[in-house]
């Protein structure tokens, strides 16, 4: 397995290289620049800024300079937040996004998994229809609709929860953004769990377990759920990467200083290094979690081997 992990990590290097290359040239080709303001800067000031940030050099030289910096795990200075480097911004914002993402992911797994199992056990009954209807509703309603509605009801009308801000990660400040992030994932996990659980309950090994007189709890949790969880694990790879690296919509609406919010600000202000750094971090998380998913497959399914 160690050899497989090393091969996957080495194979990720060309993928990251392509992502960096494509993203670098796409963002530079886009119209506008980091120092284009409504009131143009003086020519001498613009010249000095371009020289400091290497924007006066040919594009291929800027590309090589950036590749060298990334190879040293240095994402460079921010063009917009000029007192900070990208590494400093990420050191402060990424833990916040990861805290929100981990909490939302855990909530989605627990609630969605339970709802999916209950719906599968009560297939074609009222409970099943109710769970699937709620799941369909959760998938179709986007975050930018859910967040304002929850804020209006729980924050403004009832006054139970703060409508925004981080407040150093206070519990009450995390409830609304976590619930907003988790709701679509709860719906997807419930649907996936239900479908795979129905198939698992009809499999031969589960019927054999029941024939041996095992308790319903043992049959469902030990035998059926272990196989039914595999589609959910596959989905959690990209989902976990997206949640842990921050939700652009949620962090912007609730005023949370996470990496997703910085990505929006970087894109609006043509902060090349901030956008590029965010792209690289997200790509690394996607690659890492896809690898973790593959390894979990070997743990959950004895038929999977990495020779």
pLDDT per position as a tens digit, 108-131? 889 988 898 888 888 888 888 888
Phi first, then psi, for residue 106 (nearest 5°) are -65, -40
pLDDT tier at 237 (50, 70, 90 boundaries)? confident
Q: What is the mean pLDDT of the chain?
A: 81
Return the residue matching tokens 């199992």: 117
Whether residue 245 is predicted with pLDDT greater than 70 in this model: the reply is no
Spell out the domain ranges in the chain. Answer: 90-300
Yes or no: say if 109 and 189 are a contact pair by the CB < 8 Å rule.
yes
The winner for highest mean pLDDT among 24-38, 135-149, 241-255, 287-301 is: 135-149
- pLDDT attached to residue 52: 72
**Strand, coil or helix: 160:** coil
Model pLDDT for residues 19-49, shown as the tens digit of each residue: 999 988 888 877 766 666 555 566 666 666 6
The span from the CA of 17 to the CA of 48, in Å, is 30
Q: Is the pLDDT of residue 299 over 80?
A: no
Identify which of 170, 178, 47, 169 has the alpha carbon closest to the alpha carbon of residue 104. 178
What is the average pLDDT across 211-232?
77
3-state secondary structure at position 77: strand
CA dihedral 207, 208, 211, 215 (to 10 degrees): -80
Among the ranges 51-60, 213-222, 234-243, 271-280, which has the highest mean pLDDT value? 271-280
* Distant-in-sequence, close-in-space partners of 135: CB < 8 Å, separation ≥ 6: 115, 186, 187, 188, 190, 191
Distance CA 199, CA 231 (A): 12
pLDDT at 214 over 80: no
How many Cα atoms within 13 Å fall on the side-chain side of residue 267? 11
- pLDDT tens track for 125-135: 888 888 888 88
Query: What CATH number has the domain spanning 90-300?
Result: 1.10.3720.10
CA distances from 39 to 50, 51, 294 (A): 17, 20, 53
Q: Percent of the chain at pLDDT above 90?
A: 1
Tokens 């709620």 sit on residue = 134
């Amino acid at each position: 397995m160690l050899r497989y992990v090393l091969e996957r990590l080495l194979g990720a290097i060309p993928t990251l290289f392509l992502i960096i290359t494509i993203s670098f040239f796409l963002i530079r080709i886009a119209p506008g620049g980091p120092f284009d303001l409504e009131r143009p800067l003086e020519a001498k000031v613009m010249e000095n800024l371009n020289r400091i940030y290497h924007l006066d050099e040919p594009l291929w030289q800027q590309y090589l300079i950036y590749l060298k910096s990334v190879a040293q795990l240095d994402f460079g200075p921010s063009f917009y937040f000029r007192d900070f480097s990208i590494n400093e911004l990420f050191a402060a914002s990424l833990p916040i996004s990861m805290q929100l993402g981990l909490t939302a992911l855990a909530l989605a797994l627990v609630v969605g998994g339970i709802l999916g199992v209950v719906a599968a056990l009560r297939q074609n009954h009222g409970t099943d229809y109710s769970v699937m209807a709620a799941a369909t509703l959760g998938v179709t309603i986007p975050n930018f609709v859910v967040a304002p509605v929850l804020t209006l009801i729980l924050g403004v009308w009832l006054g139970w929860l703060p409508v925004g801000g981080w407040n150093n990660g206070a519990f009450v400040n995390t409830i609304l953004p976590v619930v907003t992030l988790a709701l679509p994932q709860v719906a997807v996990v419930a649907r996936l769990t239900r479908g795979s659980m129905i198939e698992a309950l009809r499999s031969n090994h589960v019927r054999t377990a029941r024939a041996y007189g095992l308790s319903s709890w043992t049959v469902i949790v030990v035998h059926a759920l272990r196989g039914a969880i595999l589609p959910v694990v596959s989905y959690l790879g990209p989902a976990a990467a997206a949640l842990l690296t921050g939700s652009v919509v949620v962090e912007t609406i609730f005023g949370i200083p996470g990496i997703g919010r910085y990505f929006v600000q970087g894109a609006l202000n043509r902060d090349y290094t901030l956008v590029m750094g965010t792209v690289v971090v997200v790509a690394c998380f996607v690659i890492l979690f896809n690898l973790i998913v593959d390894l979990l497959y070997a743990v959950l399914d004895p038929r999977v081997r990495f020779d």
